[in-house]
Amino acid sequence: MADRAGLALGAISPGVDVFKGLITYLDALRSHTDELQALSRRTQTLLITLKLLGRTVRS
């Protein structure tokens, strides 16, 4: 069980970093189109989900 938790945490941390980078990038382009705004919102939702999953796995 601990091995699976460690593996999950190992995958979640890089995922969080990737989504943070995407949010930063998309925020810079946000004013260009409504589609980019929607993509940014979805990315933020995924980031929150990954963070919650990471907290759940840790506990």
HEC readout, 1-59: CHHHHHHHHHHHHHHHHHHHHHHHHHHHHCCCCHHHHHHHHHHHHHHHHHHHHHHHHHC
Mean pLDDT of 55-59: 86
**pLDDT for the residue 4:** 74
**pLDDT for the residue 59:** 77
Number of separate domains in the chain: 1
What pLDDT digit, counting tens, does each position of 39-48 carry? 889 999 999 9
Alpha-carbon span 55 to 26, nearest angstrom: 26
**pLDDT for the residue 53:** 92
Residue among 2, 17, 19, 10 nearest 54 (CA):
10
Domain region containing 54: 2-58
- CA-based Rg of the chain, rounded to a whole angstrom? 14
